[in-house]
Structure formats: C-alpha cells, structure tokens
Amino acid sequence: MTESAVLCNDETIKSKVRKIFEYLHTHAEISMKESGTTAFIKDQLEALGLRTRTFTDCPGVTGEIGSGKPVIALRADMDALWQEVDGEFRANHSCGHDAHMSMVLGTAMMLQNYRSLPRGTVRFVFQPAEETGEGARRLAALGVMKDADYLYGVHLRPIEEIPDGRAEPAILHGAAKTITGVIRGEDAHAARPHLGKNAIEAASMIINELGHIHINPMIPSTVKMTTLHAGGAANIIPGHAEFTLDARAQTNEAMDELIKDIKRVIQSVADLFSSPIELKISPGSSSAIYHPDAIQIMADAITEVLGKSRLEQPHRSSGGDDFHQYALRHPNLKATMLGLGCDLRPGLHHPQMTFNHDAIFPGISILATAVLRTLEKEAHQ
C-alpha cells in the first residue's frame, strides 16, 4: 500500500462500521420492502451531515457531499433474500448486501472527514431490489444517475473466484432473467387420470426439454426451473401449477437466443398437453457494461491500497447484477464494480454464507481512494 491511499485505519470509524454491519445483518429486508433499512441509512447519512433524498414510490435513499461537477456515484444494494435458514424461512443477507451498505457508509465517513476534497459531488446511492432486477430501473427512472459522470459499485466475491486480501477492478457479469409461468390444465380424480390434464407432468416435460436447448457452446448459458408449486390433495391430479425459471447468458445477444428457445419449449409442451401456459418474463439484468477509464481508476486504487501483487484481472461471472442498468440507460456514464476477495464461503446465496468481516475495511479504503482519484483526475482535465 502507499501513503497516498485513503486508508480506513481510524478505530472510531471501524467500530461504527462494525455496529452498522451487525444492525443491517440482523434487520434484513426483502426486495421493495426495505423501509426500515432506508430509514436507518438515512439517519446515518444525516448524522454525517450529508444531504439526503428519499422516494415516495419505492425504498432507497441517496446522500451527497460536495457540489458541482464531476458527479461521482457510489452504489450499494440493500435487499436480502427470502430463504430457509436453520429450518426457518426469513429474510437473509446471504449475498453480502449488508457488507456493501456498510462499505459505502464507511466510505462516506472517510470522505466526509477528508481534509480537502477536490471540487465535485459524491453521491452515495442505496438501491432497493437488486435481487429482483427492479431497483436500478426504478432509481434510474427517478433520475438518480442522470447527471452522474462516474459510477462505482462493490460486490463480495466467493473464495473460488478471488482469495481473501485480493480484489479485481471489474466483475464481468452475464445477463440474467427470471421467467414465471402458470400451467392451466384440468383437475381429475387420481383414479381417473384420463379425465384430467396433469400440470405436474407438463412441468416435468418442461424441465426435460429445457435440457435440450443448445446455443453456441462458446458462450456460457444456463436455464433451470427453480420453483414449482402444484397440487394439494393426494387423490387429486392437479391441473394448475406455477413455476419459475432462472435464465442466464454471458452476453445480451445469447440471452435473446436463449429466451427464444425457452418460449419454443414452453409452447411445444402446451400443445402436447393441450394446456395453456402463461409466461411472464422479467426485464432482468444486462451483461456487464463498463468503461475503461473507470476500470483503470479502480485498478489503481486497488494497487495503492493492497499492492500490485494483490490486483486480480477481471473474472467472468455467471452471476448478474442490475447495476449495469445505469450504464445501459446512460451511455456516457463511466462505470465499474469492485470485486472484493473476502474468504466468502460456501458461496453466494447459500443460507450459511460467511466471510471475513475485516475485509470490509480494505474495501472502504479502495472505494474512498477510487473516488478521490477520480475527483483529482477530473480537476486536472
């Protein structure tokens, strides 16, 4: 690390960030229900003296320091997952969003205390509903990024991608979509299956046929059924079923091809069983859209904080993130997302996910250094 890096070594700030993380972790809220999280973060931002903005039609909050151009946005996602943890279904921060919020709040503390920030606006964006792909669209529609010049994000990375103590300046996410479906067959007595149209059999056929979709094998892609709900009585053949498909592809073009083939499969099963199948395809998230200037600034910040030997090259990730919606809607936005190694295991979205909490502090240092270097760079343009 270098002396010029903005290092999170202040024990008072570290103690506050630890308490913030513990609160957020134990008060998890699911997508578009993050009202308590919004209120908590708003209080934290205002206690720091930041100007805040909330929204009437969705959760989320922004805080600002400074004024004028450039405008540098730093985004954290807020929502948790609804999943079974130790036999209980509940909201659970198994994707690290509690850590992301803690790092962005910690960065606000660091920069607010910095002796002389160059001219510009730093906007801290706490976004709802990343997991559903809805949050970035809502905030973008509300103009949160319309005047932004740079956008930085952060995401914890699992141990199989990046070791603890290392970081990458961009995460090469793929595109992701959620597809919900309703099969409308016909109920029948279990002793008289010829009189019904079995929705479970139709769903089974969908699962089987999805495995026969083949697009260009040089481009990673996958589709699988992740939920299926049908039936209620042991002696009734259910005619109604509801299911969810998770579709992913490394490029937006491959996603378009995958969706086309999924629709073909669904229609063929509907025809075979003479049962209408209604589909609803979410907007989802696009594949990564990054700017080389932002990537270089983030790489330099990682090098300053961790050292050149701990700088990783960007990894291709099969995961997705609605973070890229902002750059998709604002082509002039210079964006990238920090990938932070933190000994995360056994994996993202696992109900027992754990990581090295001390990794939050180099994460704060990298983000604060990236913001400062961006302000300095723009001041000399």
Let me know whether 189 and 307 are in one domain.
Answer: no
Spell out the residues 6+ positions from residue 70 whose beta carbon is closer than 8 angstroms to its own.
120, 121, 149, 150, 374, 375, 378
Let me know whether 161 and 298 are in one domain.
Answer: yes
Amino acid identity of residue 153, one-letter, is: G
Spell out the residues 6+ positions from residue 244 whose beta carbon is closer than 8 angstroms to its own.
178, 179, 180, 181, 225, 226, 227, 228
Average pLDDT for residues 319-338, to the nearest whole number?
Answer: 95
Determine the 3-state secondary structure of 303 from DSSP: helix
Among candidate residues 356, 369, 340, 319, the one with its CA nearest the CA of residue 155: 340
DSSP class of 115: S
Residue 364 has pLDDT above 50, yes or no: yes
Residue 154 has pLDDT above 90, yes or no: yes
Residue 24 has pLDDT above 90, yes or no: yes
CATH number for the domain that contains residue 224: 3.30.70.360
Spell out the residues 6+ positions from residue 44 whose beta carbon is closer than 8 angstroms to its own.
20, 105
pLDDT of residue 301: 98
Average pLDDT for residues 133-145, to the nearest whole number?
Answer: 95
Average pLDDT for residues 81-99, to the nearest whole number?
Answer: 97
Residue 3 has pLDDT above 70, yes or no: no
Does 5 reside within a domain? no
pLDDT of residue 45: 98
pLDDT of residue 2: 44
Let me know whether 357 and 238 are in one domain.
Answer: no
Burial class of residue 380 in the structure, from the number of CB atoms within 10 Å of its CB (0-12 exposed, 13-18 middle, 19+ buried): exposed
From start to end of the chain, where are the E strands?
51-54, 61-67, 71-77, 81-85, 88-92, 120-127, 150-158, 167-168, 171-172, 175-184, 188-189, 221-230, 236-237, 240-249, 277-281, 315-316, 334-344
Residue 187 has pLDDT above 60, yes or no: yes
pLDDT of residue 380: 84
Number of domains in the chain: 2
Q: List the domain range (segments joined by +) for residue 347.
A: 11-174+285-379
Let me know whether 170 and 182 are in one domain.
Answer: no
CATH number for the domain that contains residue 363: 3.40.630.10
From start to end of 240-317, where are the E strands?
240-249, 277-281, 315-316
Domain end (from 252, 281, 310): 281
Let me know whether 135 and 180 are in one domain.
Answer: no
pLDDT of residue 6: 86
Let me know whether 116 and 265 are in one domain.
Answer: no
pLDDT of residue 5: 79
The Cα–Cα gap between 268 and 368 comes to 53
Let me know whether 192 and 226 are in one domain.
Answer: yes
pTM of the model: 0.88
Let me know whether 158 and 214 are in one domain.
Answer: no
Residue 292 has pLDDT above 60, yes or no: yes
Strand partners, 122: 65, 72
Let me know whether 35 and 134 are in one domain.
Answer: yes
pLDDT of residue 250: 94
pLDDT of residue 284: 85
pLDDT of residue 38: 98
- The helix-helix angle for 97-112 and 11-26 (nearest 10°) equals 150
Between 1-15, 61-75, 104-118, 287-301, the lowest mean confidence (pLDDT) is in 1-15
Average pLDDT for residues 358-364, to the nearest whole number?
Answer: 98
Does 6 reside within a domain? no
Q: How confident is the model at residue 4 (pLDDT cuts 50, 70, 90)?
A: low
Residue 243 has pLDDT above 90, yes or no: yes
Q: What angle do CA 209, 212, 213 make, to 5 degrees?
A: 105
CB contact at 8 A, 230 and 182: no
Amino acid identity of residue 88, one-letter, is: E
Domain end (from 222, 256, 281): 281
Let me know whether 300 and 340 are in one domain.
Answer: yes
Q: How confident is the model at residue 149 (pLDDT cuts 50, 70, 90)?
A: very high
Domain end (from 220, 246, 281): 281
Q: How confident is the model at residue 337 (pLDDT cuts 50, 70, 90)?
A: very high
Does 370 reside within a domain? yes
Q: How far is CA 224 from the centre of its chain?
A: 20
Does 336 reside within a domain? yes
Among candidate residues 52, 195, 26, the one with its CA nearest the CA of residue 126: 52
Let me know whether 247 and 330 are in one domain.
Answer: no
Strand partners, 248: 176, 222
pLDDT of residue 1: 43
Average pLDDT for residues 176-185, to the nearest whole number?
Answer: 96
pLDDT of residue 116: 84
What percent of the chain shows pLDDT beyond 70?
Answer: 99
pLDDT, averaged across the chain: 96
For the beta carbon of residue 226, count every other beta carbon within 10 angstroms. 11
